[in-house]
Amino acid sequence: MTFSLDYIAYRVSAWNRRRKWQRYTTLFPPMKGETVLDVGCSDIEYSETDNFLEKKYPHQSQITALGIDTPKAFPKTYPEVTCVQYDGGIFPFTNEQFDICWSNAVLEHVGDEAAQVLFLKEAYRVAKKGFITTPNKFFPIEVHTRVPLLHFVLPKKMFDAFLRLIGKQWATGSYMRLLSERDLRSILDKAGIKTYRLFKNRMLGWTLDFVIVFDKEQDI
């Protein structure tokens, strides 16, 4: 049963990432010469959906991948991509250094509200355009642990205790801070991002995740 649930979750994740990629290429068709920042790259790939941008983007030499892991496996897998390690705080780049900032399902993992505000503020600072995704807190199944409902029914400490009980302690503590639409709009406002579009990717009528899109060159 566990294998079956994991398999279904993996297939849903892969399907949803393809859907997000289709939206991205519709909004920002990949162009030769544009610079793209991928925030939240993974040095070790645990599934085919990891480092999705690097797998799909047609001009790898134009990508800079930013992450907190020491880059060991990543540069060997994607030798054309510039890989930069940082401490998870200020992005080590100048204002609007990149044409586009891409970040898929990273925002919920960066820490508390202040850390999430800083993350958005930095993404907005270093890029002219942005495409940032994060799961919906109120989707009935918590997408990382596959646990239904309890992630928004129980207080954080009680949910963490339950996760430890079922052997998923890796998802406790500061591992994730899930966001509702209200939470997301609040931290966008605190980050000083006033003009953006918020897309909702749905599954069976429920919002599975959100996509934040900004474009400083256009009033979107």
State the average pLDDT for the chain: 95
Give residue 137's pLDDT. Answer: 98
Residues 6+ positions from 119 with CB-CB distance below 8 Å? 39, 106, 107, 110
Give residue 47's pLDDT. Answer: 81
Report the C-alpha gap between 198 and 180 in whole angstroms. 12
**Which tens digit of pLDDT belongs to each residue from 163-212?**
999 999 999 999 999 999 999 999 999 999 999 999 999 999 999 999 99
Residues 6+ positions from 190 with CB-CB distance below 8 Å? 117
**Which tens digit of pLDDT belongs to each residue from 11-33?**
888 888 899 999 999 999 999 99
Dihedral sign of CA atoms 184, 177, 48, 148 in order: negative
Parallel/antiparallel/unpaired status of strands 206-215 and 127-135: antiparallel
The domain spans of the chain are 2-137+181-215, 140-177
Does residue 69 surpass a pLDDT of 50? yes
Report the C-alpha gap between 157 and 155 in whole angstroms. 6
Q: What is the DSSP letter of 28?
A: S
Tokens of residue 98, six digits? 């990149």
Does residue 146 surpass a pLDDT of 60? yes
Phi/psi for 206 (5° steps) reads -95, 145
Query: What architecture does CATH give domain 2-137+181-215?
Result: 3-Layer(aba) Sandwich (3.40)
Report the C-alpha gap between 12 and 211 in whole angstroms. 17
**Which tens digit of pLDDT belongs to each residue from 125-144?**
999 999 999 999 999 999 99
